[in-house]
Amino acid sequence: MTAAHEARLVAPAPGTTDPGPRDHADLAVWAPRATAVELRVRRDGAETVTTMERGADGWHRAPSVRAVPGDRYAYRLDADGPWLPDPRSLHQPDGVHGDSEVHAPAPDPSWTGRDLRGGTIYELHVGTFAPGPDGASGTLDTAISRLDHLVALGVDAVELMPVAAFPGERGWGYDGVDLYATHAAYGGPAALERFVAAAHERGLAVVMDVVMNHLGPAGNYLSAFAPYFTDTHETPWGPAVNLDADGSAEVRAFLLGLARHWLVDMGLDGLRLDAVHALRDDSDRHLLAELADAVASWSAALGRPLTLIAESDLNDPRMVTPTADGGLGMDMQWADDIHHAVHAWSTGERDGYYGDFGSAEVLARCVTRMFEHAGTFSTFRGQVWGSPVDPTAEGYDAHSFVAFLQDHDQVGNRAVGDRPDATTPLGVHAAAAALILCGPATVMLFQGEEWAASTPFTFFTDHDDELGPLVSAGRAEEFAQMGWSGDIPDPQDRATFEAAMLDWSEAEHGDHARMLAWYTELLALRRAEADLRDPDLRRVDVEILSEETVVLRRGRIRVLAHRGEGPIVLPDEGGAEVLARFDTDPETADADALALRGQGAIVFHCP
């Protein structure tokens, strides 16, 4: 950790808005445009309706009502509309259109947390990660049954794809509409608390994927209550979340409260913030900087690390620069360019945004500098892209960036959700994995990647009869425009969802078991070898032997990665020690020689 990052953890900037602890017995709602708001509470078969008191701040309160866990409640605006769920609801047991249910979180105060920078994160989708009996949808409780696998693999944290309540039972979660609530089909907030406790018992941190930049179309009632959105800015999903127009102070407090809910109230360890470049904010102080300082304050108060990870395509190191130095204060950001470089080099794909990637030279540049587009022309975007700041010259450490070979986007946004293993030889997968797992950045894996899972991960939804056909047609049209001539799995078809469920029996047999052993071995080396834990980008180098063969250098550790079909031999200068090997032909490979009979990788100590 750099000195600047340590300063960001202990010295938040003044003026941070902290929404403070929430009293879950106090039912209140911000509805500044409503003249009157009614509150309906159902408890033990009885129902009461109360006209709430309107304050000058636009908040409506009912001081005579004290809720208890299990109460169902809803709001009605100006007595002529439908009953609506609470924008800050923690549980929607009957779906996003039903009443809210009171829940009082109870996090474990004994958990001391984990610093995730430089560690290994495992991204999973609750519904497909650990299916229930007879192919039933996975839940947070069934996911607990697979946590020991992650511990044995060598993972430090679990990253859950969004669990905020969304329409239907199955989906990716990026169309959530009740952002504080845990999706009922996954077990609701009580199941999330059980999952977090089980993970913490095993020493695993839990990161939540949170979408602050937009809401889904079905069940999104925020605009009925208040100006949560603004036409001042546009996003790919329509009007932007209101961060800088009239009423934005309360919207910002709503999002800070969302972060506090997951990190403090529910006891999680970090947030992955979806597409932060779509958080359009012209305020003097960007929401991300405000959030970073608020989280630093909570971390200090709790006495445990709290982590913010940004998904950003801006290629700007300012994202992970401390707020005290004028940055946005994120602990880490996803490094898509590393993925693109390794993927294109190992698979040969050059379509779309892979067009500027694929060569060994670009691979070397991305592994050592994190970005390919750094004030350079992007042919995919048709413009100059990224910041010209050189992370190595400016002292940015590699642990501030998250590298991955697979993630939900890079697999799921393909036409048929195919993983690289579907078309790439096993040895090439092993070589690509070695470059990521032994590379300098923080590592992230995607569920099943560690055993070269054969199951695809395709986009799937469960919308109603009106929206569902539009989603299906839109998906087919999107890939038809890209020139895709094959069939597109219908996202509304339950079979598309079921096909994405992991087949855990694979991991025990054949090449799948061999790949699992390779991942486990590399992650063990990452923990054991000081050179592989070093975040200094200035001590990372890639030697290009040919377009098919590169050598990653990190201190005394070398990683030979070879995607060619022919053999490769390195001269042994004497004293080299092979630490790990994945060879196409393991039966005839020399365990000590710096040679591969075919595709694969060797990790070794250089004398």
Catalytic hit among 244, 274, 281, 506: 274
Amino acid at position 301, single letter: A
User: Residue 589's pLDDT is what?
Assistant: 64
User: Residue 484's pLDDT is what?
Assistant: 66
Tokens of 111: 């958990």
User: Residue 476's pLDDT is what?
Assistant: 74
User: Residue 593's pLDDT is what?
Assistant: 86
Residues forming a β-bridge with 29? 60
User: Residue 98's pLDDT is what?
Assistant: 97
Q: How far is C-alpha 313 from the chain's CA centre?
A: 14
Tokens of 527: 């923990």
Please name which of 515, 279, 533, 537 lies closest in space to residue 390, comparing C-alpha atoms: 537
Tokens of 583: 């060879």
User: Residue 481's pLDDT is what?
Assistant: 66
Q: 234 an active-site residue?
A: no
Binding site members for substrate? 272-277, 336-340, 408-413
User: Residue 483's pLDDT is what?
Assistant: 63
User: Residue 367's pLDDT is what?
Assistant: 97
Binding site members? 272-277, 336-340, 408-413
The CA distance from 518 to 451, in Å, is: 9
pLDDT along the chain (607 residues), means of 10: 41 55 90 97 96 96 96 94 97 98 94 97 98 93 98 98 97 97 98 98 98 94 97 91 96 97 97 97 96 97 97 94 95 97 96 95 97 95 93 85 97 93 95 98 98 97 87 77 75 95 97 98 98 96 97 97 93 86 79 88 93
Catalytic hit among 269, 311, 356, 534: 311
User: Residue 1's pLDDT is what?
Assistant: 37
Tokens of 208: 């939540």
User: Residue 4's pLDDT is what?
Assistant: 38
Given CA atoms 22, 24, 30, 35 in this order, what sign does their dihedral have? Answer: negative
User: Residue 486's pLDDT is what?
Assistant: 76
User: Residue 17's pLDDT is what?
Assistant: 62
Q: 123 an active-site residue?
A: no
User: Residue 80's pLDDT is what?
Assistant: 83
pTM equals 0.95
Angle CA(510)–CA(124)–CA(451) in degrees, nearest 5?
10
Q: Which domains does the chain have, with CATH numbers?
A: 3-9+108-462+479-519 (3.20.20.80), 540-605 (2.60.40.1180)
* Radius of gyration of the CA atoms of the chain, in A: 25
Amino acid at position 586, single letter: P
Angle CA(556)–CA(557)–CA(562) in degrees, nearest 5?
140
User: Residue 592's pLDDT is what?
Assistant: 74
